[in-house]
Amino acid sequence: MAYTPLDILKAEGIAAGINAMIGSKPEIRAVGNQYLEIVFSDAQRADMINYLDQRVGGIFDKTPQDAPAIQLQWGDILIPWSVKYLAPAFIGLFALGFISNSVLFGRK
């Protein structure tokens, strides 16, 4: 499947986001007429690893961290979303297990 102009814009947006993170924009390379690749140089690869170590590596660090300067109130979004989708899914899985138990190990 060939890429479209919208795919080029998406790739440019991703490359611009990476540029904002590490300070240099990776190359966008067309592979035939099939798809686009975002290719990092060796220096960009090292910068991206360092960026991830600083931002994501802290998740695995057990020392206390200062509160971030910007905080999102995810609870206002995730709680209604989970009630809408996850709660019925869990109820459905419970009912499916209950029904399969009665079918497999029914009355004797």
pLDDT (0 to 100) of residue 58: 72
Residue 18 has pLDDT above 90, yes or no: yes
Considering the domain architecture, whether residues 17 and 55 belong to the same structural domain is answered as: yes
Hey, what are 22's tokens?
Answer: 């590490």
Residue 107 has pLDDT above 70, yes or no: no
The DSSP call for residue 56 is: T
Assessment of whether the complete model's pTM goes beyond 0.75 = no
Containing structural domain, residue 108: 73-108
Residue 66 has pLDDT above 90, yes or no: no
Strand residue runs (E) in 1-108: 27-31, 35-39
Q: Tell me how many domains the chain contains.
A: 2
Considering the domain architecture, whether residues 58 and 77 belong to the same structural domain is answered as: no
Considering the domain architecture, whether residues 57 and 84 belong to the same structural domain is answered as: no
How many Å separate Cα 53 from the centre of its chain?
A: 17
Question: What's the pLDDT band for 30 if we cut at 50, 70, 90?
Answer: very high
